[in-house]
Amino acid sequence: MEQNRVVVTGLGTVNAIARSVPEFSSALQAGRCGIGPVTVFDTAEFRTHNGGEVQQFAPREMIPRPYSLKRMSRADCMAMAATVEALNDAGLFAAPDKLRGEMGVVIGGGAGGMLECEAVYRDYLLGTGRGLAYSRFASFCCASSADQIASQLRIRGPKTTFMTACSSGATAIGYARDLIQTNMAPVVICGGTEPLCRITYAAFNALQAVDPEHCKPFDKNRQGLSLGEGSGVMILEALSHARQRGARIYGEILGYGVSCDAHHMTAPDPEGAGAALAMRRALEDAGVSTEAVDYINAHGTATPANDLMETKGIKAVFGRRAYQIPISSTKSMIGHTLGAAGAIEGVAAVLAIHHHFIPPTIHHQTPDPQCDLDFVTEGARASDINIVLSNSFAFGGNNTAVVFGKFADSGVTHA
């Protein structure tokens, strides 16, 4: 149905290997590694020291005046920078007031303003706070990023924030599409943002889920994830609205699916049943067959449990076809950006479609007989892609899968 189609008309990102979308596209094709020593806080006391940090992040260079950086956390600034890029990319940065009055903002969050509040909290606990900088708590909630974007850009449509840990960004994209399909907004700014911070770093270290070097998704010797940070934002738009203003169309959101493992708070269902349910629901929602999927952007955190269950889940959904689909984990390059992961990976999926390539899984050296699919370990591949399935799985058993497609006027590419 023409009126129900939702397309991607703008992209924005900052992450460990890029501070813009063109940079991200070339870094993905080059298989660049952004995982190295963490500098946003002192890691001396921690078990591990590496992460996918956004290098030399200078918000003022990316967020033009008169937009204020006052009381904005690192997470807020990254989301705002990605939003500015995405809106410019979509030709909507100077959108008319009428459109701003209807535009929505849906962000997936993680630690929010935790990085900035940790210092205040430490002072509070140690009783050393001379003048506790409580004003920093203005940006503490994950909601702060969406609030800043909407308030500074004077947007009045639906606004919300999801926090489903590592699937927040994917859920935000799925919900943004629903808002457009149900006529709640013609255009929605959606995505996710996540800062590196001590609490998160300590939490994953306490779970012994962090690879001290860099993550090695689907490798036999994988030891855990690398934490990362960044933001991914996309502009979703009703097809009719995009056509009317002659917008460039990157691709289409074809469907999404959500499920819950109902198994364990931090460990995934070992058989991947919840993951498979989310993938099936996304494909069903999109109306695409397993045969039509050309590439899977895996959750691929590189924890022993995730990669095994994800492999099993993909096999359960795709059967024999699982062995023929290229699958990669872009986390091998930027780390696991938690609340932003589904959004940054969504940007990667759309770039793969638009620029005809499949991003690689880097750092993969030793094949795992239990993870025996095509993980694109030799480097990026040139390939014409029509349909991408992007997986995001999270603590709490929160699974989300999103299906992206190449845009075709007839709307039948994925039949």
Partner 1 sequence: MLRRVVVTGVGLVTPLGVGKDVFTRQLFGGFSGIRPITLFDTTRFDAKLGAQIRDFTPQDFIRPATLRRMDRLSQMATAGARMALDDAAFQIGPHNRDRVGVVLGTCFGGTDVAAQFGKVLFTDSPRRANPILVPNVVMNAPAGHAAIELGVRGVNTTVNHREVSAETAMAYAAAEIMRGRADVILAGGGDIISEFYFNVLTHFRTLSPQKGGMEELRPFDAQRNGTIVGEGAGIVCLESLESAEARGAIPYCEIAGWGLSAAPAGPNDWPTDPIGPSLAMTRALAAAHIDSGEIDYVSAAANGGRRSDRIEAEALGGVFSSPGRQPRVSAIKGSLGEGFSSGGIRAAAMALSIQNRTLAPTLGLSQPLAPLNFVLNAETQVAIRYGLLNGVSSGGTFAAVIMKKIG
- Within residues 276-305, the interface with partner 1 by CB under 8 A covers 277, 281, 285
The b/e string for 152-183 (b: 16+ C-beta within 10 A; e otherwise) is bbebebbbebbbbbbbbbbbbbbbbbebbeee
Total chain residues near partner 1 (CB under 8 A): 77
Per-residue contact string for residues 193-232; x = within reach of partner 1 by CB under 8 A: -----xx-xxx-xxxx------------------------
Q: Is residue 260 involved in binding partner 1 (CB under 8 A)?
A: yes
* Beta strands at 50-51 and 187-194: parallel, antiparallel or unpaired: unpaired
Q: Is residue 251 involved in binding partner 1 (CB under 8 A)?
A: no
Work out how close the CB of 243 gets to partner 1 at its nearest, in angstroms, rounded to a whole number.
Answer: 24
Work out how close the CB of 181 gets to partner 1 at its nearest, in angstroms, rounded to a whole number.
Answer: 8
Vertex 225: Cα angle to 259 and 290 (nearest 5)? 40
Q: Which of 106, 98, 404 is nearest to 249 (CA)?
A: 404
**In this chain, which stretch among 10-18, 19-27, 239-247, 271-279 interacts with partner 1, using CB under 8 A?**
271-279
CA distance 128 to 151: 34
DSSP run (H or E) holding 411: none
> In this structure, how many other beta carbons lie within 10 angstroms of the beta carbon of residue 263?
14
**49 catalytic, yes or no?**
no
Site for partner 1 (CB under 8 A): which residue of 1, 96, 130, 182? Answer: 182
Residue 46's identity, in one-letter code, is: F
Work out how close the CB of 270 gets to partner 1 at its nearest, in angstroms, rounded to a whole number.
Answer: 15
Site for partner 1 (CB under 8 A): which residue of 40, 99, 143, 316? Answer: 143
* Beta strands at 6-14 and 251-260: parallel, antiparallel or unpaired: antiparallel
Please, which residue, 114 or 362, has the CB nearer to partner 1? 114
Q: Is residue 46 involved in binding partner 1 (CB under 8 A)?
A: yes
**263 catalytic, yes or no?**
no
Please, which residue, 332 or 398, has the CB nearer to partner 1? 398
CA distance 23 to 13: 9
Residue tagged active-site, from 214, 241, 299, 364 = 299
Please, which residue, 130 or 320, has the CB nearer to partner 1? 130
Q: Is residue 270 involved in binding partner 1 (CB under 8 A)?
A: no
Residue with tokens 């986390």: 331
Q: Is residue 244 involved in binding partner 1 (CB under 8 A)?
A: no
Q: Is residue 271 involved in binding partner 1 (CB under 8 A)?
A: no
**336 catalytic, yes or no?**
yes
Which residues pair with residue 251 across a beta bridge? 8
DSSP run (H or E) holding 237: strand 230-238
Site for partner 1 (CB under 8 A): which residue of 47, 64, 289, 323? Answer: 47
Q: Is residue 262 involved in binding partner 1 (CB under 8 A)?
A: yes
CA distance 316 to 336: 25
The residues that are catalytic are 166, 299, 336
